[in-house]
Amino acid sequence: MTDLYLNSKFVGTVPEGKDFVSKIIDDRRKGNVSGNLNLSFNKDLDEIHVEIGKGRVRRPLIIVKNGKSLFTDDLSKQLEKGEIKWSDLVKQGVIEYLDTLEEENAFVAFFEEDITHKHTHLEVNPIDMFGLCTSLVPFANFSPGARVSMGSKNQKQAIGMYIANYALRMDMDVNILHSPQVPIVQTIMADVSKFDKHPLGQNIVVAVMSYKGYNMEDAIIINKGSIDRGFGRSTYYRPAIAEELRYSGGLTDEICVPDKEVKGYKSERDYRLLDEEGIIHPEANVAEGDVIIGKTSPPRFLSSMDEYNLATNVRRESSVDLKHGEEGVVDFVLVTENGEGNKLVQVRLRDQRIPEIGDKFTSRFGQKGVIGLIVPSTDMPFSTAGIVPDLIFSSHGIPSRMTISHLIELIGGKVGALSGRYIDGTTFLSEKEYDLRDELNSLGFREDGTETFYDGMNGTQMEAKIFVGNMYYLKLKHMVANKIHSRARGPIQLLTRQPTEGRAKEGGLRLGEMEKDTFIAHGASLLLKERFDSDKTLIPVCEECGHMGFHHALRDNYVCPVCESAAQMSDVEMSYAFKLMLDEFKSLGVIPKLALENKY
Amino acid sequence: MEELFKEFASKFPAYLVEEVKENLPPKVTKAQVKKILETVEENYIYAKVDAGESVGLVAAESIGEPGTQMTLNTFHFAGVAEMNVTVGLPRIIEILDARLTIKTPMMEVYLVPPYNKGKDIRSIAMKIKETKLFELASEFQIDIVESQIRVVLNMKKLEEIGLTSKDVSKVIAKGAKTSSVKNDGDDIIVKLNSKDEGLNEVYKLKEKIRVMYISGVKGVSQVLPVKRGEEFLIVTAGTNLKEMLNLDYVDPTRTTSNDIREMGKLLGVEAARSTVINEVFKVIENQGLNVDVRHIMLVADTMCNGGSVKGITRYGIVSEKSSVLARASFETPIKHIINAAVIGEEDLLNSVVENVMINQPVPTGTGLAKLKTKVID
């Protein structure tokens, strides 16, 4: 007697588990039972689990019977001619979907030639154990799993052409690569996913060598000539959005060039690019502070009294402008309505991004790095054939990471570029390395991919033979232009008078708790005080009662709120944060008093 | 010559003077000795920590920085050791917090000769281990008719510990006062005194005598004889140092526990201090890190200087700081502020944290020196 569970609930028993399972599976393959049903037999627990619920991950496998795959050559030919489809194979019981539980009962052969009588299934293609991005990594079976997974993650950050109609869209944070290319070394997934419709990078010549130490620690060196010819050039698009919102009392926002009376009016110069409608015109060059969409809003917190008060009845400035460090060109202006019928203005900004020092690039194997130096092509090393590499990759990146795929792609790319064909690098089913080497040899190059190189600076021949080849390189979306940040003086927070936080607000770089500790550990006490002077203030403190007072500017005297004006007061230097804390103590009902003492 | 030594005795520790004395070559002039002593003094002064050096902070950083690398490594090493021992960061936290109950209490039991050469090591280990009845019994039979329990003993195990079934029955009789205990061959029969007891009572009795303590040191749940160099010792899981030191085959001068509180209670603060140093150092060492012992010694000194062990927690040494602001900046600030307000506490702003708060020079390093002037009216 075997216990039977349906969707993990006990429903009864069957006399002989094995027979029951094989009968149901047969029925399913014949189509008598739903193809969505999976069942598994656990011999040790003597239990059968039948699952037909939602949310199970299932994968297709070719059925093997008596040591023979049911997917015959006939079927293969029919499939090629288009006479049958995938769904027909599933209907015919050639392919079935297994869930994770049923997989436990299956014995799956990797390749057709591995099949024995014990096998129950055959893998459709070994790469369907990977996801889309991972199967785009060529020669993945030659690299450690960690690197393959990094490589597949890097591709998600690569700048390419994510969609063809990007010019008609208003997506946030868009990067489009100029002149993207299809990889020379690709996997079958490139075909399946129509990779040529949304490529991610460019094929370039990579030399594995060092160059004056500027490619230490994963840095890469790029040929200035390649950049001038368009390598790694991309455009960054960002929309700015303004809406005419409606408020209670019939008040609305208004998209227009703000009047000078408006509260918070910037300078006339900031509005100079706006047309009569208050919207900027396309192809205008804009920089930090420029207004893109002029807008005014009704005053806030309008009480009944204020309606008669002219002074408060002034509209607020609420234009969209460029934040600190932003610049670009207005690409596209869209005036439309939103769902509620309010006027909606979207302005798309465009900014060309030319590779610069610090921009991040990667191959498809997790071999990421930032540009360390851009070398004029005259100074780049060159080969006997006169080939100047586009990129110099450090050889130290290879041994510890063991990304052999990186090296094979170099050879593969070289063969592909020389013979004018695509190289199949599909994981587990790729073209063989020795075939590629033979082909490279027959093309008149050294079979190991090395070439004699000359120093670009003085023309001397290099002692070592340099490994050089073609590779698909990706530009990642992490660019210096989006991240560079520094500050000397700048905006402060209203509450604490400490510097603001973050690049967008031109914030300071925090000297945190542990950094503070290092100053103390060095005994650099006075330096530490100076570093924390960003919010220092002079507070008049009453010598009598120890409370904080203030300086009455009109009467030019000090006032202690407790002892009134009679008190003797002294200025005390402290951080504004401390003053704030004392005020917060007061709100707790705790009176903090400062006992003053002569400093000397 | 002696005058010279006397003169320098006040300038540096006496043991240094002694060391110089012992190592003097046979023929030296007074001038040469003076020069030697002066060099020693110079080096002694040079080796001293400068006034205003933030030793505590440096110690904290020196232990804390390697600690960040430790967290990852911990997982790998756990469970590889002979017994399952808390290692890595959790152990360090446990020590420095001076927890009352630690995760894996252990003892290292050293033995007196000849036992430390391996004599009867197994049987001694078994004797130390706390043994309960169910570990010795192969079966508990409940006789429903007679309302009695027959305990079938595993004689092989009994022999290992060196007990007879009579000894066992005596112990049971002592523990289960409401029943009579009889020997029946190797078996023991336990019967409730009062008749007409239900089966339930018998079952309860069975459960009670099942976990009854029979022999060994209470609290020692596992024993493991280990050979360290030439010597045999017994590592135990579970501690009971007090009982252990009473056993005559145990060397009381070297046997230790890894429970700081226990060591402190039994052997005094100095023992607790040493335990802190040794235990922390052991963890850091087995992680393959390199921390100077003196940093750990400073921490241990701080924990023990009040005469009892205090953890580095808000209830321990942090609660003893004199400054309200310093205490409030650690944990539970509102509690400290309110309490200070209730008693009208004064903060003299003498220490580091307060001065960082109000943005004044902290009184260490360059902030230590102050200008003293007379203000003329």
The mean-pLDDT minimum among B51-65, B76-90, B161-175, B222-236 falls in: B76-90
Question: What is the band of B194 on the pLDDT scale with cuts at 50, 70, 90?
Answer: confident
Q: Do B60 and A591 count as a contact with CB atoms less than 8 A apart?
A: no
B333 and chain A in contact, CB less than 8 A: no
Structure token pair of residue A485: 């940040």
pLDDT at A307: 55
pLDDT above 70 covers what percent of chain B? 95
Quote the CA–CA distance of A538 and A171 in Å, as a whole number: 49
Q: Which residue has the tokens 């049911």?
A: A70
Q: Which of A320, A348, A346 is nearest to A236 (CA)?
A: A348
Q: What is the CATH number of domain A235-353?
A: 2.40.50.150
* DSSP string covering A102-125: HHTT--EESSGGG--TT--EEES-
A577, B329 Cβ separation under 8 angstroms? no
Contact status of A572 with chain B (Cβ, < 8 Å):
no
Q: Which amino acid is at B373?
A: T
How far apart, in whole angstroms, are the C-alpha atoms of residue A449 and residue A414? 8
The pLDDT, as a whole number, for residue B43 is 92
Count how many pairs of residues, chain A against chain B, have C-beta atoms within 8 Å: 81
Q: What is the mean pLDDT of residues A476-486?
A: 92
- Tell me the per-residue pLDDT of B54-72, one tens digit each, with 9 for 90 and over: 999 999 999 988 888 876 5
Q: Are B190 and B179 in contact (CB under 8 A)?
A: yes
Q: What does the pLDDT read at residue B85?
A: 76
Is pLDDT of B262 > 80?
yes
Which DSSP string do the residues of B239-264 spell out, in sequence order? Answer: --HHHHHHSTTB-TTT-EES-HHHHH
Mean predicted lDDT score pLDDT of chain B: 86
B361 close contact with A: CB closer than 8 A: yes
Dump the DSSP string for B100-120. SS-SS-EEEEEB-TTGGGTTT
Domains of chain B, by residue range, sit at 2-47, 131-215, 321-367
Beta bridge partners of B44: none
Average pLDDT score over residue span B325-348: 92
For residue A358, list its beta bridge partners.
Answer: none
Helices (H), chain B: 2-9, 14-23, 30-47, 55-77, 88-96, 121-128, 133-136, 155-161, 165-175, 199-210, 241-246, 260-267, 269-286, 293-304, 324-328, 333-343, 352-357
The CATH number of the structural domain formed by B321-367 is 1.10.150.390
Assigned token pair, B170: 């005596």
Is A584 near chain B, with CB under 8 Å? no
Is residue A218 flagged as an active site residue?
yes
Whole-number Å distance between alpha carbons of B263 and A409: 64
From the list A517, A533, A591, the residue facing B57 with the nearest CB is A517
pLDDT tier at B20 (50, 70, 90 boundaries)?
confident
Q: What is the mean pLDDT of residues B332-338?
A: 91
Predicted confidence (pLDDT) at residue A467 exceeds the cutoff of 50: yes
CB contact under 8 Å between A523 and B53, yes or no, is yes
**Is the model's pLDDT at B77 over the cut of 80?**
no
Distances (CA, A) of B23 to B8, B31, B33: 16, 16, 11
pLDDT at B78 (0 to 100) = 41
Interface test with B, best of A526, A528, A584, A591 (most B CBs within 10 A): A528
Chain-centroid distance, C-alpha B12: 34
* pLDDT tens digits for range A136-150: 999 999 999 999 999
Q: Looking at the DSSP assignment, which residues form a beta bridge with residue A40?
A: A49
Domain B131-215 fold: Gyrase A; domain 2 (3.30.1360)
Q: Is the CB of B375 less than 8 angstroms away from the CB of A600?
A: yes
Which of B295, B342, B357, B358 should we substitute to test contact with A (largest number of A Cβ atoms within 10 Å)?
A: B358
Check B337 against A585: CB less than 8 A apart: yes
With contact defined as beta carbons under 8 Å apart, do A201 and A474 qualify? yes
Chain B residue with the nearest C-alpha to that of A516: B356
Does the beta carbon of A595 lie under 8 angstroms from any beta carbon of chain B?
yes
Q: A305 falls in which pLDDT band (50, 70, 90)?
A: low
Distance of CA B341 to the CA centre of its chain: 38
* Omega cis (within 30) before B114: yes
Q: Could B366 and A590 be called an inter-chain contact, meaning their C-beta atoms sit closer than 8 Å?
A: no
- The residue to which tokens 């009016």 are assigned: A265
Q: How far apart are CA A499 and CA A514, in angstroms?
A: 19
Is residue A461 a contact partner of residue A452, using CB atoms and an 8 Å limit? Answer: yes
Taking the CA of residue B325 and the nearest CA in chain A, the distance in Å comes to 11
Q: Is A196 helix (H, G, I), strand (E, B) or coil?
A: helix
Return the ∠ at Cα A425 (arms to A419 and A430), rounded to 5°.
105
Is some CB atom of chain A closer than 8 A to the CB atom of B200? no
Least confident of A111-125, A240-254, A329-343, A385-399: A240-254
Structure-token pair, residue B322: 């004199």
State whether B337 and A581 contact (CB < 8 Å).
no
The pLDDT of B327-331, averaged and rounded, is 91
Instruction: Kindly tell me the burial class for residue A97, based on how many C-beta atoms sit within 10 Å of its own C-beta (0-12, 13-18, 19 or more).
Output: middle
Contact A328, A311 (CB under 8 A): no
**pLDDT grade for B28, boundaries at 50, 70 and 90:** confident
Our CA-based measurement puts residue B356 at a distance from the nearest CA of chain A, in whole angstroms, of: 8
- What is the token pair recorded at B206? 């069975």
| Higher per-residue confidence, A286 vs A307 | A286
CA distances from B58 to A247, A518, B211, B297, B349 (A): 59, 8, 51, 13, 21
- In the numeric block, the tokens 């609305």 are attached to A252
If one counts every other C-beta atom within 10 angstroms of the C-beta of residue A110, the result is 13
What is the Cα–Cα distance from B226 to B108, expressed in whole angstroms? Answer: 10
pLDDT tens digits for A430-454? 999 999 999 999 999 999 999 999 9
CB B291 within 8 A of CB B63: yes
What is the structure's pLDDT at B193?
Answer: 76
Name the CATH superfamily for A140-233+357-475.
DNA-directed RNA polymerase, subunit 2, domain 6 (2.40.270.10)
Q: Across the interface, do A521 and B362 touch by the CB < 8 Å criterion? A: no
Residue B334 forms contact with A (CB below 8 Å): yes
Average pLDDT, chain A: 91
**pLDDT beyond 50 at B75:** no
Q: What is the pLDDT of residue A310?
A: 56
CA distances from B277 to B97, B284, B296 (A): 14, 11, 6
Contact B365 A598 (CB under 8 A): no
With a cut of 50, say whether residue A3 has pLDDT above it. yes
**ipTM of predicted assembly, 2 dp:** 0.80
What is the model's pLDDT at position A1?
83
* Confidence class for position A544, pLDDT limits 50, 70, 90: confident
Name every residue whose Cβ is closer than 8 Å to that of residue A312 and which is 6 or more positions away in sequence. Answer: A299, A302, A306
- Tell me how far CA of residue A564 lies from CA of A450, A560, A587, in angstroms: 88, 5, 21
Q: How far, in Å, are A135, A141, B11, B12 from residue B18 at the CA level? A: 76, 71, 13, 11
User: CA angle at residue A474 from A472 to A476, to 5 degrees?
Assistant: 170
Contact A520 B373 (CB under 8 A): no
| Interacting residues of B244 by C-beta distance below 8 A, sequence separation 6+ | B107, B109, B128, B217, B220, B250, B255
What is the DSSP secondary structure assignment for residue A499, as one 8-state letter?
A: B
Which residues of chain B make contact with A518, given a CB cutoff of 8 A?
Answer: 61
Spatial separation of the C-alpha atoms in residues A500 and A507, rounded to whole Å: 4
Q: With H, G, I as helix, E, B as strand and everything else as coil, classify residue A575.
A: strand
pLDDT bin (cut points 50, 70, 90) of residue B76 is: very low
Are A469 and A410 contacting, i.e. CB atoms less than 8 angstroms apart? yes
Query: φ, ψ for residue B303 (rounded to 5)?
Result: -70, -30
- Give dist(CA A426, CA A434) in Å, integer: 16
Domain borders along chain A are: 2-129, 140-233+357-475, 235-353, 513-587
How much is the pLDDT for B157? 82
Q: How many CA atoms lie within 13 A of A367 on its CB side?
A: 30
* Distance between A100 CA and the closest CA of chain B, angstroms: 29
* 387-446 in chain A: CB under 8 A from chain B: none
Query: B325, B353 in Cβ contact below 8 A?
Result: yes
Of A46, A191, A196, A218, the active-site residue reads A218
Predicted confidence (pLDDT) per residue in A337-359, tens digit: 988 889 999 999 999 999 999 99
Instruction: Give B 30-69 residues with CB within 8 A of chain A.
Output: 52-54, 57-58, 60-61
Q: Partners of A59 in the beta sheet?
A: A98
Report residue B198 as tokens: 């239900």
Q: What angle do CA B319, B324, B326 make, to 5 degrees?
A: 75
Is A521–B61 a contact, with Cβ atoms under 8 angstroms apart? yes
> CA Rg, chain A, in Å?
35
| Gap between the Cα atoms of A53 and A34, Å rounded | 12
Which architecture characterizes domain A513-587 according to CATH?
Alpha-Beta Complex (3.90)
Are B110 and B255 in contact by the 8 Å Cβ rule? The answer is yes
The beta-carbon neighbor of A521 closest among B54, B338, B368 is B54
